[in-house]
């Protein structure tokens, strides 16, 4: 199998019009905060137990086509000694891997950040493939303020995303490109739309420069929403602004857009995805790659107790099913109340 046919096979499994991607790639610091919110200490054993429960949830594969894993999880086994990546694959859920190494300040661009991890990326990807990873994810973060992102910030972050994507495709790993414009702040939805457009334009210019094949990658962007300090926008408004901005900046060659949830609640993320798909006429599949918006109900049900695993799995599958319905434009608020 050639590299291109290998990449195409992965895209075909991830993009089927029915399922989204579970983001279970929280770093050590992030998952420690999530666990602390439900009174659980973050240890290697507790993380393994929790993520094992997620990946063995019955029926999850009906609504989720891929899972983004943290490096630690990709190398872990369940209590029966079966690799967790293999557990996911048994449900037709493709294992993926977060490959960036966190962010820091971008020198020369006050308020902007840059993500690390390009050094040795090709070698790491070859190792991850041997463990079962079929795709990867890299996140660049764009703070939204009166002066940010700067032109330097736009250019530097786009270059890193493009270099990462090019290395992935060279190694036969499908890249998920994640330019996250943060919700933090009091900006209007109009300001959010303008910044997201600039970010996406810069990213795709860089992808072209680096020869990335657009048909063999996925985009994981923010939705266009007002800042977190403002009143929430209605799903119809979020959908209209988001789709208009995407049409202006994202080539139709990209097969699928898997939205991140950012600071949205599980219910908001589902309602907004549903509104996007009800608008129709998008040249891409509009799907989800949610972390907290899928896991929050499961984590609250689990609380570190083995006897709560079935309840946690049920909460995860329910949330995934609702987002599956949102991909079809068939989600209704009444479903939330009825279940």
DSSP per residue over 171-219, as a string? TT-EEEEEEEE---SS--HHHHHHHHHHHHHHHHHHHHHTT--GGG-EE
CA–CA distances in Å: residue 95 to residues 23, 76, 199, 292: 11, 13, 28, 18
Percent pLDDT > 90 in the chain is 96
Q: What is the mean pLDDT of residues 33-53?
A: 96
Helix then strand then coil, in percent of the chain rounded to 5, is: 50, 15, 35
Mean pLDDT of the chain: 96
Per-residue pLDDT, 1 = 77
Note the pLDDT of residue 339. 59
- By the 8 A CB rule, do 300 and 35 touch? no
Res 333 pLDDT > 80: no
157-179 pLDDT, tens per residue?
999 999 999 999 999 999 999 99
Are 252 and 224 contacting, i.e. CB atoms less than 8 angstroms apart?
Answer: no
Q: What is the mean predicted confidence (pLDDT) over 132-160?
A: 97
> Domains in the chain: how many in total?
1
The one catalytic residue among 26, 220, 240, 268: 220
Which residues sit opposite 21 in a β-bridge? 66, 289
Give me the count of residues in the chain. Answer: 339
CATH of the domain at 185: 3.20.20.70
Of the candidates 140, 159, 171, 178, the residue annotated as catalytic is 178
Q: Which domain holds residue 116?
A: 3-338
pLDDT at position 117, please?
A: 98
Confidence of residue 332 (pLDDT cuts 50, 70, 90): confident
**pTM metric for this prediction:** 0.97
Q: What is the pLDDT of residues 209-230, one digit of tens each?
A: 999 999 999 999 999 999 999 9
Alpha helix ranges (H) inside the chain: 3-14, 28-36, 44-55, 71-74, 84-90, 121-130, 151-170, 189-209, 235-249, 266-279, 292-302, 309-327, 333-338
Q: Using CA atoms, how far apart are residues 276 and 255, in angstroms rounded to an integer? A: 16
Cα gap 182→205, rounded to integer Å: 21
Phi, psi (rounded to 5 degrees) for 225: -135, 160
178 is catalytic: yes
């Amino acid at each position: 199998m050639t590299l291109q046919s290998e990449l195409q096979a992965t895209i075909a499994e991830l993009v089927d019009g029915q399922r989204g991607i579970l983001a279970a790639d929280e770093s050590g610091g992030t998952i420690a905060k999530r666990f602390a919110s439900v009174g659980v200490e973050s240890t290697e054993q507790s993380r393994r137990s929790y993520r094992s429960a997620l990946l063995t949830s019955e029926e999850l594969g009906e609504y989720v086509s891929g899972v983004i894993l943290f490096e630690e999880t990709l190398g872990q086994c369940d209590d029966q000694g079966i690799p967790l990546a293999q557990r996911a694959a048994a449900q037709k859920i493709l294992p993926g891997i977060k490959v960036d190494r966190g962010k820091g300040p971008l020198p020369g661009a006050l308020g902007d950040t840059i993500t690390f991890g390009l050094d040795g990326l090709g070698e790491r990807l070859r190792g991850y493939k041997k463990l079962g990873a079929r795709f990867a994810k890299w996140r660049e973060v764009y703070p939204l303020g009166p002066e940010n992102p700067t032109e330097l910030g736009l250019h530097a972050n786009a270059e890193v995303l493009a270099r990462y994507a090019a290395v992935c495709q060279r190694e036969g790993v499908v890249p998920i490109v994640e330019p996250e414009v943060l919700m933090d702040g009091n900006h209007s939805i109009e300001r959010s739309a303008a910044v997201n457009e600039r970010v996406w334009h810069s990213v795709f210019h860089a992808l072209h420069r680096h020869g990335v094949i657009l048909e063999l990658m996925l985009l994981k962007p923010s939705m266009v929403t007002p800042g977190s300090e403002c009143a929430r926008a209605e799903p119809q408004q979020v959908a209209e602004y988001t789709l208009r901005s995407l049409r202006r900046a994202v080539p139709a060659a990209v097969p699928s857009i898997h939205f991140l949830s950012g600071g949205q609640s599980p219910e908001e993320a589902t309602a907004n995805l549903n509104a996007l798909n009800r608008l129709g006429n998008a040249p891409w599949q509009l799907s989800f790659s949610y972390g907290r918006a899928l896991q929050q109900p499961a984590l609250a049900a689990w609380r570190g107790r083995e006897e709560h695993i079935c309840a946690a799995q049920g909460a995860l599958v329910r949330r995934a099913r609702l987002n599956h319905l949102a991909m079809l434009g068939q989600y209704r608020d009444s479903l939330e109340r009825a279940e």
